[in-house]
Structure 1
Amino acid sequence: MSRPLPRGGTFLLAVLAGTAIANNYAVQPALTAVAADLDVPLSVIGLVPTAALAGCMTGFALLLPLTDHLAPNRLVGAQLTALGAALALAATAPDAFVLLGAYLLIGAAASVAAQAGNIAGRHARPGRGGTGVALVAAGMSAGILLSRPAGGALTDLLGWRRTLLVFAALALLGALAAATLLPRHRPHPERGYRATLTALAPLLLHQPRLRRAVTTGALWYFAFNLVWIALTLDLAQPPHSLGPTAIGLYSLAGLLGFAALPLTGRLTDRHGPRRVIGLSMATAATGTVLLATGLDTPWRTALGLALFDAGCFAAQAANQSRVIALDPARSGSLSSVYLVVYFTIGALGTAAAAPLLDTLGWQGTAFTALGALLLAAALGRR
């Protein structure tokens, strides 16, 4: 039986998750300045976000299962300390090679955000698991949404190296808070860590409910990446011909999804994840239909994106709660499998966006995403 989090523990995990995952994105507005400072082509420094994503995927595969083996205070505290050290390494990097290596480590350590959601669900009070997972998801969403403007503003004020040191200090403060306030109770897994890693792939074979959760989640994340990348490309081309700033303003539509997450958690605890996923997919599908009618009207595009984002965000929080509830004692391993497949299929959506846009146009691409959402809704009801 997992011991419940102390008062304010879930909020702390949400803050830690948001500040950790922000490090994968905060440097992006400063990439031009970084390239100039290190005297390398922008194409080389452009690999920094890729390195962060590769590190994060590695963290999901290798570090997330540690939640089944280590006490939360030790695990989160140690990983945030490692994040602070990796950020300090990036801040003092003498060349692009060291910087890219540092961002592999930053991405891996930033996967503590997924550990935070897992811990919130596992250590929630009875009947409050969905609320805990959703609150941490809201923290992660806030971190992602605010990371780029915060990173850009700090870079203008302090320079990119000092900005990374500020984020390193925040990570170390988070490590101290985690070590002090999170539960000290160590799980007692049935197998060792190496055996846990070996057993990850077979989980998909032996857990039909996990396969269903993975498939439904991967479908809407495929649709999410497909819509956002294709929309960005289409808005930049005639007849719209919008600049980066105007296109970037549409990302504020994601604030509705962020605001809906706390309600999502309460609904999941009260009615179960299946109903919440069905309602979320209906919301996302409605937004996609609005988007498919065309991007000529800004308010309609913004409303379509708001509904689309809110549906996908809410479904993800509910689905994550469902994965954790399958077997709380092995929730780290289950979440690891879920997130690795989830992000892999999402990457396929990113890769498919430009070819589909060229072949089918914006409307055909939007209806492809709609098909993925409707299939996810059908599977989610089973």
Structure 2
Amino acid sequence: MSRPLPRGGTFLLAVVAGTAIANNYALQPALTTVAADLDVPLSVIGLVPTAALAGCTAGFALLLPLTDHLAPNRLVAAQLTALAVALTLAATAPGPAVLLAAYLLAGAAASVAAQASNIAGRHAPPGRGGTGVAVVAAGMSAGILLSRLAGGALTDALGWRRMLLVFAVIALLGAAAAVTLLPRHRPPARGGYLATLRALPPLLLKHRRLRLAVATGALWYLAFNLVWIALALALAGPPHSLGPTAIGLYSLAGLLGFAVLPLTGRLTDRYGPRTVITGAVLAAAAGTGLLATGLDTPWVTALGLAVLDAGCFAAQAANQSRVIALDPARSGSLSSVYLVVYFTVGALGAAAAAPLLDAFGWPATALTALAALLLAAGLTRR
């Protein structure tokens, strides 16, 4: 049986998760600024979010299973230190090749956010796993939502390079706190690391509920990335022509998701994850339907984003609780399989956003996301 986290441990994990995962999104409002500074087409710099998600996927495949083998304090501190190094490399990048490589590394290190969620669920008191995961998910949602606002504001104030260095310092502070406060004991031995990696693919064949969790989660994350990347690009261009800070302000609409996550954890522990996931995905679909009506009315755009984000974050917290509960002793491996597929499909959504927006416009892009969400809702009830 896992030892409980020390006092304040779950809160620290939430902060670590939020500040780490924020680095996958903080540069998005400044993509046009980065493209102009490096004198390359926006289509090239538009690959930065995809590189971050691809790196995160690699981190989930290769690093998340380490939660079944290493002490939480050492593992979390090491990854946050690596994140700081990658962000420093990105901040000094002379061209797009180095920037993309740095974001691959930063994305991999940012997978510590998933490790934090896994540690919180594994070390929660009996019957409170959903609440522990939801608290960390709240930290992640705050990081994702506020990252665009912070990234845009810091870019306007300091430039995009210094903005990245600010995030690097935050990562180092998190590493120092993790070494001091997180558990120092290793999980019970369950074979070697390489054996753990080889055993990952068969887990999908063994667990039908894992397959359903993977399919539904991947669909709503595809929709989430499709909407947010296309939204940033659409608002930056005519007729809106908004700057990085103005685009980043729309992320505040997603604070509704942050507010509902503690309730999500309690509902998941009481009623089970499937009921929570179904309601959350349908709410996200309703928000996307609002966004499909256009971006000309700011309050409608803000409301649509609020409901979309709340639904996706609530569904993700409940889904991760479902995955961890399949086998808590192997939760790192199970979460690895889940999140590799989740972020792979999400990266496809990020990569498809600009081409879809250019070819078909904003309403069709939003309707594509809506179709993915409705399919996810249908699969949840199987």
Instruction: Specify if TM > 0.5.
Output: yes
In 2, Cα distance between equivalents of 1:255 and 1:194: 40
SS of residue paired to 1:244: coil
In 2, Cα distance between equivalents of 1:95 and 1:360: 31
Cα displacement string for residues 223-252 of structure 1 (whole angstroms, at most 9, x for unaligned residues): 3334445556676788xx322346654433
Assess, with a 3 A threshold, how the Cα gap between structure 1 residues 92 and 115 changes in structure 2: closer, same or farther.
Answer: same
Corresponding position of 1:299? 299
Assess, with a 3 A threshold, how the Cα gap between structure 1 residues 220 and 45 changes in structure 2: closer, same or farther.
Answer: closer
In 2, Cα distance between equivalents of 1:261 and 1:14: 12
TM-score (normalizing by structure 2): 0.86
Corresponding position of 1:243? 241
Cα displacement string for residues 294-352 of structure 1 (whole angstroms, at most 9, x for unaligned residues): 55554344323322221111111100111111111111111111111112222333455
Corresponding position of 1:326? 326
Assess, with a 3 A threshold, how the Cα gap between structure 1 residues 380 and 95 changes in structure 2: closer, same or farther.
Answer: closer
| Aligned positions, number | 379
Corresponding position of 2:40? 41
Determine if contact 1:40/1:96 at 8 Å carries over to the other structure: no
Determine if contact 1:55/1:107 at 8 Å carries over to the other structure: yes
Determine if contact 1:35/1:45 at 8 Å carries over to the other structure: yes
Cα drift, residue 122 of structure 1: 0.9
Corresponding position of 2:281? 281
> One-letter code of the match for 2:68?
D
SS of residue paired to 1:284: helix
> One-letter code of the match for 1:14?
A
Cα drift, residue 179 of structure 1: 1.1
Cα drift, residue 115 of structure 1: 0.8
Within a 5 Å distance, the mapping from 1:65-80 to structure 2 comes to 65-80=65-80
Determine if contact 1:189/1:329 at 8 Å carries over to the other structure: no
> One-letter code of the match for 2:151?
G
Corresponding position of 1:261? 261
Please report the RMSD computed on the Cα atoms of aligned residues, expressed in angstroms. Answer: 3.1
In 2, Cα distance between equivalents of 1:339 and 1:353: 21
Corresponding position of 2:171? 171
Cα drift, residue 286 of structure 1: 2.9
Assess, with a 3 A threshold, how the Cα gap between structure 1 residues 154 and 102 changes in structure 2: closer, same or farther.
Answer: same
Within a 5 Å distance, the mapping from 1:41-120 to structure 2 comes to 41=40, 47-93=47-93, 97-120=97-120
Corresponding position of 2:150? 150
In the alignment, structure 2 segments of 5+ residues that lack a partner are none
In the alignment, structure 1 segments of 5+ residues that lack a partner are none
Larger Rg: 1
Percent sequence identity is: 80
Corresponding position of 2:341? 341
TM-score (normalizing by structure 1): 0.86
In 2, Cα distance between equivalents of 1:231 and 1:46: 13
Determine if contact 1:45/1:96 at 8 Å carries over to the other structure: yes
SS of residue paired to 1:224: helix
Cα drift, residue 61 of structure 1: 1.1
Determine if contact 1:31/1:42 at 8 Å carries over to the other structure: no
State whether structure 2 residue 176 is matched by structure 1 residue 191: no
> One-letter code of the match for 2:40?
P
Q: Which moved more, 1:50-59 or 1:157-166?
A: 157-166
Assess, with a 3 A threshold, how the Cα gap between structure 1 residues 292 and 159 changes in structure 2: closer, same or farther.
Answer: closer
Assess, with a 3 A threshold, how the Cα gap between structure 1 residues 358 and 243 changes in structure 2: closer, same or farther.
Answer: closer
Assess, with a 3 A threshold, how the Cα gap between structure 1 residues 45 and 250 changes in structure 2: closer, same or farther.
Answer: closer
Assess, with a 3 A threshold, how the Cα gap between structure 1 residues 361 and 83 changes in structure 2: closer, same or farther.
Answer: closer
In 2, Cα distance between equivalents of 1:118 and 1:174: 17
